[in-house]
Amino acid sequence: MTAKSAAAAAQATVYGYPRQGAQRELKKAVEGYWKGRIGADALKEIAEGLRRANWQQLADAGVHEVPTGDFSYYDHVLDTSVMVGAVPARHRAAVEADTLDGYFAMARGNQDVAPLEMTKWFDTNYHYLVPELGPDTVFAADSAKQVAELKEALAFGHTARPVLVGPVTYLLLAKPAPGVAPDFEPLTLLDRLLPVYAEVLADLRAAGAEWVQLDEPALVQDRTPAELNATARAYRDLGALPDRPKLLVASYFDRLGEALPVLAKAPVDGLALDFTGAAAANLDDLAAVGGLPGKRLVAGVVDGRNVWINDFEKSLSVLGTLLGLADRVDVAASCSLLHVPLDAAAERDIEPQILRWLAFARQKTTEIVTLARGLARGTGAIAAELAANRADLASRAGSPITHDPAVRARAAAITDADGRRSAPYEARAAAQRDRLGLPLLPTTTIGSFPQTAELRTARADLRAGRIGAAAYEERIEAEIQEVLAFQEKAGIDVLVHGEPERNDMVQYFAEQLSGYLATQHGWVQSYGTRYVRPPVLAGDISRPEPMTVRWTSYAQSLTDRPVKGMLTGPVTMLAWSFVRDDQPLGDTARQVALALRDEVDDLEAAGTSVIQVDEPALRETLPLRAAGHAAYLEWATESFRLSTGGVRPDTQIHTHMCYAEFGDIVRAIDDLDADVISLEAARSHMQVARELAEHGYPREAGPGVYDIHSPRVPSAEEAASLLRKGLEAIPARRLWVNPDCGLKTRGWPETRASLENLVAAARTVRAELPES
Ligand code: GLN
Ligand code: ZN
């Protein structure tokens, strides 16, 4: 095919669409089903209606080929486990008794069985259920869901393309089932899995699929030669199947790298590649392998995971180059639109001019269709859209919101000294010991105390105008009094105010920083029926007024013990927001860091002697490929130091992270130069403490001794034995005693009992120390 005919054939498509519905109908229906308020038939009917509406919306917008099978009651990786028959033994009875209830049992567990583990889908904020596999896993094809949804779409008259998680990615996302050797590699099951995919593909072909999409995002990560060989084998085998649908292998979130030549050579009919952000490197890589002669290329030029309008001219230029590299070029978003909210037009509180900079799933669909039309018929066919796009981009680039001279000047004047404490750790530790007078093995918590129903009601009442600001603040003060009184009575050494005023650790700050936008309806799926509304980092960031000083000072006025100030760090602020795409992430992080630095300095000036800056997202934001790690960790640690570097030596800086695996960022943790770090460790039996020790971590650490993820109350003896384990790795004068994470999801009864046991454990173990 010539470039000209490739262009003429250009079509618009997407890989997936938000599942929840405009009013989050799916969340309500699924939760209603769990509570027994609606039956399975009603749930199925609602789901069908949502799918139908999505397809119609896509088709009306001009999308030629709609996706099917991307819908899910809970998670598409769990759907894949069902499709290949990988139901863990402990869930089999539930699945046999009732397919739908068994499905939800795998997702959420029940009284008798634990659910599948949940983890992040690559570097997005979507979480999937991790397949559990072992040498005894027997796969069996169950194509019912995929076939039914394809037939539904076809019955409505759409051209439809089923979308499946590809076999290689499925296995690479899996982990050894409980009881299976931890070094078992699920990828060794590939030969057993391929026949199951073959069966599903045949069923889809029989049901009328011309094309089937196999998603292989795992191939954008660093892969071993063995993994690349397995990929080659998988697609050689699937490609060789007789009477199969055409296969489109999709990748997203980064460049394919070494996997590109493998897939380009595979006997499949098309590739879908990401051309946004760093993945734009796919363009040169594709040229280097000689393009995809005879194949279809689906070009993801519209960013599927961020909320900004596309740059049409830039995309058309990429598409133009691609025309010479494949037989047919179609236009798509870089990944499923699952990761963005549904419709920017639903936002009422965002200024109309700024709203024009935003594109959610609906707007992105229109962009994709416009680009496909421009590609097929020439820019003349989209002249009006191009002009409007140019104007919107210019308005964003020239806006005082995105270019605040004061913020820019301040960022430009940052020096190395700003990110460095004024004294080395040893001197700081001595000054802090004098000022704080803490015992050995000091006890503290991570910040939040139970967020009770009354607190949430008070917040809702304030928002709805049912109560005034004064009444709300009184309510918060009363809560702080209670939290302080409990901690004093329990004998905790470093207290917290309990964060009762915070809805969410990122949103609370986003609402008070200028440059951030909040949405009213910008829900995106985090996992299952949990949806979040990430704030949008839209402009240059500054802090007009102190954000937390009032509450921390109030708490401090109630006690003689130190009250720890609590802030969310710059990396986490970025990780759980939609970020700017018009400047490097490091620049945005630096602006947020300076705003937080103002808060840290104000807390210190108000007399706060201990300040914690939480960075639970430090590790999850790590780039997918190792090549990107160093540059990321550089700006990530720099921005943390910038936010905390301005305090006196005798002000103690804490940080907190909650995950047990952090081997690959231990050096970065050290680079934060925080005086104290608290980490999740209870479930891994203090493994974290040993790892810190192995790396020679020189400062103070509090590996958690209370697993806050469960309502279970650890006994004092249990906490004491964890502490003794901690002492094997970390000397007493550097070991803190604290829970794994904040207590906001816990109830008061178990929180009280657990913290009392934690203090008792600290006292017992202190008494055993030769130092005491
Ligand atoms: N300070 C926060 C809290 O206790 C930290 C939460 C987190 O690490 N995710 O809630
Ligand atoms: Zn935490």
Confidence of residue 2 (pLDDT cuts 50, 70, 90): low
DSSP-assigned letter for residue 206: H
Secondary structure class of 114 (helix, strand, coil): coil
User: CA 90 from chain center: how many Å?
Assistant: 28
- Helices 748-767 and 716-729: crossing angle in degrees, nearest 10, is 50
Amino acid in position 487: Q
| Token representation of residue 268 | 């499949």
- In the reported structure, the alpha carbon of residue 545 is separated from the centroid of ligand 2 by a whole-number distance in angstroms of 26
Burial class (CB in 10 A: 0-12, 13-18, 19+), 439: exposed
Nearest ligand, CA 450: 1
CB half-sphere exposure, 712, CA atoms < 13 A: 12
DSSP string, 566-597: EEE-HHHHHHTSBPPSSS-HHHHHHHHHHHHH
Does 448 sit in the ligand 1 pocket, CB within 6 Å? yes
User: In the chain, what is the greatest distance between 2 CA atoms, to the nearest angstrom?
Assistant: 83
Helix-strand-coil percent breakdown of the chain, rounded to 5?
50, 15, 40
Res 130: pLDDT: 96
In ligand 1, the atom with minimum distance to the C-alpha of 448 is 4
Nearest CA owner, ligand 1 atom 6: 742
277: left (phi > 0), else alpha (psi -120 to 50), else beta? Answer: left
Nearest partner of 657 among 467, 503, 487, 447, judged by Cα: 447
300, 334 contact by CB (below 8 A): yes
Nearest CA owner, ligand 1 atom 5: 742
Backbone angles phi, psi at 451, to 5 degrees: -85, 100
Query: For the residues 239-268, what does the mean pLDDT come to?
Result: 97
Backbone angles phi, psi at 398, to 5 degrees: -100, 5
pLDDT at 61 over 80: yes
Cα–Cα distance measured from residue 317 to residue 710, given in angstroms and rounded to the nearest whole number: 53
Helices (H), 334-468: 352-355, 361-377, 383-397, 405-412, 425-436, 453-464
Strand partners, 731: none
Residue 598: partners with Cβ closer than 8 Å, 6 or more residues away: 543, 546
DSSP-assigned letter for residue 712: P
Residue 772: partners with Cβ closer than 8 Å, 6 or more residues away: 440, 766
Res 598: pLDDT: 98
Mean pLDDT of the residues in the chain: 96
CB half-sphere exposure, 174, CA atoms < 13 A: 33
DSSP string, 655-686: EEE--S--GGGHHHHHHT--SEEEE--TTTTT
Secondary structure class of 178 (helix, strand, coil): coil
Cα–Cα distance measured from residue 391 to residue 208, given in angstroms and rounded to the nearest whole number: 43
Please give the angle made by the CA atoms of 320, 325 and 328, to the nearest 5 degrees. Answer: 80
Confidence of residue 202 (pLDDT cuts 50, 70, 90): very high
pLDDT at 82 over 70: yes
610, 564 contact by CB (below 8 A): yes
> How many beta carbons lie within 10 A of that of residue 152, not counting itself?
17
| Token representation of residue 145 | 């869901």
Res 658: pLDDT: 86
Cα–Cα distance measured from residue 22 to residue 79, given in angstroms and rounded to the nearest whole number: 23
Residues belonging to the active site: 709
pLDDT at 570 over 80: yes
pLDDT digits (tens, 9 = 90+) for 512-543: 999 999 999 999 999 999 999 999 999 999 99
- Helices 99-108 and 76-83: crossing angle in degrees, nearest 10, is 130
Confidence of residue 243 (pLDDT cuts 50, 70, 90): confident
Strand partners, 568: 614
148, 83 contact by CB (below 8 A): no
DSSP string, 508-566: HHHTTSEEEE--SS--EEEETTEEE---EEEEEEE-SS-SSHHHHHHHHTT-SS-BEEE
Secondary structure class of 302 (helix, strand, coil): strand
Does 618 sit in the ligand 1 pocket, CB within 6 Å? no
- In the reported structure, the alpha carbon of residue 733 is separated from the centroid of ligand 1 by a whole-number distance in angstroms of 25
User: CA 722 from chain center: how many Å?
Assistant: 30
644, 612 contact by CB (below 8 A): no
Nearest partner of 73 among 41, 108, 47, judged by Cα: 47
Q: Which residue has the tokens 């990429």?
A: 318
Confidence of residue 544 (pLDDT cuts 50, 70, 90): very high
535, 507 contact by CB (below 8 A): yes
126, 217 contact by CB (below 8 A): no
Residue 169: partners with Cβ closer than 8 Å, 6 or more residues away: 215, 216, 217, 218, 219
Secondary structure class of 42 (helix, strand, coil): helix
Pick the range with the lowest mean pLDDT from 155-169, 228-242, 315-329, 682-696.
682-696
DSSP string, 597-658: HHHHHHHHHTT--EEEEE-TTTTTTS-SSGGGHHHHHHHHHHHHHHHHTTS-TTSEEEEEE-
Cα–Cα distance measured from residue 551 to residue 558, given in angstroms and rounded to the nearest whole number: 11
DSSP-assigned letter for residue 329: E
DSSP-assigned letter for residue 113: S
Could you give the percent of the chain with pLDDT greater than 70?
99
Cα–Cα distance measured from residue 110 to residue 663, given in angstroms and rounded to the nearest whole number: 33
216, 249 contact by CB (below 8 A): yes
Res 4: pLDDT: 67
pLDDT digits (tens, 9 = 90+) for 613-628: 999 999 989 999 999 9
Res 660: pLDDT: 63
Cα–Cα distance measured from residue 347 to residue 521, given in angstroms and rounded to the nearest whole number: 7
Secondary structure class of 129 (helix, strand, coil): strand
Res 663: pLDDT: 77
Does 744 sit in the ligand 1 pocket, CB within 6 Å? yes
Does 80 sit in the ligand 1 pocket, CB within 6 Å? no
| Token representation of residue 411 | 């960022």
Going across the sheet that includes 246-250, the strands are 65-68, 159-165, 211-215, 246-250, 270-274, 292-302, 326-333
Does 741 sit in the ligand 1 pocket, CB within 6 Å? yes
In ligand 1, the atom with minimum distance to the C-alpha of 616 is 8
In ligand 1, the atom with minimum distance to the C-alpha of 446 is 4
H helix or E strand, kind and range, residue 688: helix 687-694
pLDDT at 772 over 70: no
Res 683: pLDDT: 85
pLDDT at 486 over 70: yes
Does 505 sit in the ligand 1 pocket, CB within 6 Å? yes
Amino acid in position 85: G
pLDDT at 6 over 80: no
- In the reported structure, the alpha carbon of residue 746 is separated from the centroid of ligand 2 by a whole-number distance in angstroms of 13
Q: Which residue has the tokens 């109030």?
A: 554
Does 738 sit in the ligand 1 pocket, CB within 6 Å? no
pLDDT at 761 over 60: yes
Res 3: pLDDT: 66
Secondary structure class of 758 (helix, strand, coil): helix
Does 276 sit in the ligand 1 pocket, CB within 6 Å? no
DSSP-assigned letter for residue 415: -
- In the reported structure, the alpha carbon of residue 449 is separated from the centroid of ligand 1 by a whole-number distance in angstroms of 10
**Ligand 1 mutation pick, 487, 505, 572, max ligand atoms within 8 A of CB:** 505
In ligand 1, the atom with minimum distance to the C-alpha of 566 is 1
Nearest partner of 514 among 572, 622, 421, 594, judged by Cα: 594
Helices and strands, counts by H and E, the chain: 29, 20
